[in-house]
Structure formats: C-alpha cells, structure tokens
C-alpha cells in the first residue's frame, strides 16, 4: 500500500511517498481502506513540529492526517446509536478521525489502509461522498461540540445572540448551522468573497476585519455584547470584547484561549472520537443541514503539493487526498 510519511520535521519536502505492506488484522482494532482524507491546518503544523510538546511519544517515520473516509476491511463492533445490531460489517462505508494528539500520534490517515479503534468510526449514509465525509470526520463534531460547550455557559441557545468566526471553514460552518438550529441569532465572519455562503448558513454576515473591528461590529448590532462566541478563526484577545459580561467564549482555533475577563466563561474544544456524534453529523450532511465543502480532490501522492496550496490560502473548502 502507499503511505506518505515524514522522517523529520520540516517543510513540504520532508513528505515522502513509500510503499509498505498492508497491515494484517489486529485484535481489538479494525482496518479501513481509506479512499479520502482531508488536509487540515493541523497537518501543516504537525509536519513543521509545532505540536511536538503535545506528542512526546511521537517517533519517526511518522504519518500525518486526522480525518478519513473509506471502507471497513473487518467487522467492527458499534454502539446501538451507530448500528442497531451492534456491528458494522466489513465492506461498510465509514468515516472518522484518529486522535493524533493521543494514542494515534504518528499513525495518521495519509495511508491507503489504516488500523483504528472501532470507536473512531461511524457509517457514511447515502448522499454523502467519501470526500465530503472526510471533510466532516473531525471538523463536523468539533463544530457541534463547540456549540454544546457554549450552551453550557449561556444556557438554552434559543433567542441568544452568538458570534462565529471562521464561518467559511468546516468547523465554523458546522457551528453556525447547529447554533441556528438551536434557535440562536448568529452573527458570523467568513473568508473574503464568501459572504453568500455564510449568509446561506442562516447567519448575519459581519465585515471581515481584525479582531477589534469584528468585536466593534458585533457591539454595533448588540450594544450590550453578544451572549457567546465560537471562535474558529482568530487568535486574538480583542475578540473577547464582543461578549457581554458573564457570557461565553469557546475557542476552536488551535489551543488559543484569551485571558479571563468580566466573568466570561472560557473553553477550548478538544474533541475525542465520538461515533454517535459523528454519525449524527453525517446524517445531517446527508439531509443538507451541515455543509461539507470540497475545494479539490488530489492523489495521496500529491500531499506535499496539497500542503503548499493550503499554506497559500484562498481555498473554498477542503483539499482532499484520495486513493
């Protein structure tokens, strides 16, 4: 099978394509023949060594990648919410993500066959392509979890005002949709020239500017401050100025959390695999509730080029490596 690995931290040139034997069955694990895996900013940071402190057990050569979609090669036990009879049969289309900051450090999805915990996968419904499922494997549950965390600070979201940054991305878009579904008034900021997409999610679009400008724009809409923020796009303390005293601020932007102020509840999303939540997100994608934007599909062997293109910016949706 084909694998993209790195033997040291560095730029895109450290990614090398190698052939390896297909893994044999492993007790307590299942194999997935991966057909799609999205390229996330975390992949670029991981390749450059930015997460070395979070992965002390990482050894080289290492394989990047979080999200994936493909086909089970082995029967997989499953919780009833995922499979009523308790089993996902070999041949089932599945999606998921590996906890790259945890036990899967260095054993990511940039491979044609991966070995995973059965609890990391959920079935992909008809109407969702493998590439779309790969976009949502980690990002969809992250957006949903961010909204849940925000509600733990603000209470029922029905009728509250929420600001979402990074609303053009997979995490931010999911957060907008889940907040809207729970009755929130959502103000949102997306990428340049993406206002129509963000508006189509059900949000009121704010001008794209710096954090201070976004906070001021939110205050212009709600002078007392918004009830909460889901931050999926900025790393700036000034964004906290948008929130009313005692509101909530949830960060899905890496590990950034602002300093406490004015009684605002602070949280950061660190999502672990949750097959029930992922299955729900994928069903929501199938019925059109949650978008899964694919910018382009590229061969797995073109991973280095995909990293360059993501670093350059300007994409509408995710780059997906296919095999």
pLDDT per position as a tens digit, 47-103:
999 989 888 889 999 999 999 999 999 999 998 888 888 999 999 999 999 999 888
Q: What pLDDT score does 229 carry?
A: 96
Same domain? For 100 and 220 the reply is no
**Total length of the chain:** 323
Q: Which of 268, 290, 311 is the last residue of a domain?
A: 268
Same domain? For 154 and 213 the reply is yes
Q: What pLDDT score does 72 carry?
A: 98
Same domain? For 249 and 299 the reply is no
Same domain? For 209 and 264 the reply is yes
Q: Which residues of the chain have pLDDT under 70?
A: 253-255
Same domain? For 177 and 64 the reply is no
Give the number of other Cβ atoms within 10 Å of residue 219's Cβ.
16
Query: Element (H or E) spanning 68, and its range?
Result: strand 67-72
Q: What pLDDT score does 79 carry?
A: 87
CATH code of the domain covering residue 227: 3.40.50.720
Same domain? For 301 and 244 the reply is no
Mapping DSSP to helix (H, G, I), strand (E, B) and coil, where does residue 27 land? coil
Same domain? For 91 and 209 the reply is no
Q: What pLDDT score does 253 carry?
A: 65
Q: What pLDDT score does 255 carry?
A: 61
Same domain? For 129 and 184 the reply is no
Same domain? For 289 and 227 the reply is no
CATH code of the domain covering residue 283: 3.90.180.10
Number of domains in the chain: 2
Q: Which of 223, 243, 268 is the last residue of a domain?
A: 268
Q: What pLDDT score does 227 carry?
A: 97
Distance of CA 255 to the CA centre of its chain: 14
pTM: 0.93
Domain assignment of residue 52, given as a range: 2-136+272-322
Same domain? For 253 and 292 the reply is no
Q: Which of 225, 242, 268 is the last residue of a domain?
A: 268
Q: What pLDDT score does 254 carry?
A: 61
Same domain? For 165 and 217 the reply is yes
Same domain? For 20 and 79 the reply is yes
For residue 95, give both structure tokens. 């999606």
Dihedral Cα 223, 228, 231, 237, nearest 10 deg: 60
CA-based angle 294:12:111, to the nearest 5?
60
């Amino acid at each position: 099978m084909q694998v993209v690995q790195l033997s040291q931290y560095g730029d895109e040139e450290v990614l090398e394509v190698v052939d390896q034997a297909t893994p044999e069955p492993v007790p307590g694990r299942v194999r997935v023949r991966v057909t799609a895996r999205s390229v996330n900013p975390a992949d670029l940071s991981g390749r450059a060594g930015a997460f070395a402190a979070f992965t002390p057990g990482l050894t080289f050569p290492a394989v990047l990648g979080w999200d994936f979609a493909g086909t089970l090669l082995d029967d997989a036990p499953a919780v009833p919410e995922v499979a009523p009879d308790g089993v996902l049969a070999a041949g089932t289309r599945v999606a998921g993500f590996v906890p790259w900051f945890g036990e899967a450090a260095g054993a990511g999805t940039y491979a044609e066959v991966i070995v995973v915990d059965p609890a990391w996968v959920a079935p992909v419904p008809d109407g969702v392509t493998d590439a779309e499922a790969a976009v949502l494997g980690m990002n969809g549950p992250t957006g949903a979890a961010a909204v849940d965390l925000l509600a733990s600070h603000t209470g029922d979201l029905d009728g509250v005002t929420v600001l979402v940054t990074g609303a053009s991305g997979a995490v931010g878009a999911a957060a907008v949709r889940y907040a809207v579904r729970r009755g929130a008034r959502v103000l949102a900021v997306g990428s340049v020239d993406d206002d129509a997409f963000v508006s189509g999610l059900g949000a009121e679009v704010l001008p794209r500017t710096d954090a201070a400008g976004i906070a001021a724009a939110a205050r212009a809409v709600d002078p007392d401050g918004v009830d909460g923020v889901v931050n999926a796009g900025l790393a700036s303390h000034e964004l906290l100025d948008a929130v009313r005293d005692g509101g909530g601020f949830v960060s899905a932007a890496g590990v950034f959390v602002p300093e406490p102020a004015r009684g605002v509840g602070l949280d950061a999303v660190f999502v672990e695999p949750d097959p029930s939540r992922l299955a729900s997100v994928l069903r929501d994608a199938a019925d059109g509730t949650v978008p899964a934007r694919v910018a382009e599909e590229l061969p797995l062997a073109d991973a280095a080029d995909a990293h360059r293109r993501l670093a350059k910016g300007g994409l509408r949706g995710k780059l997906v490596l296919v095999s």
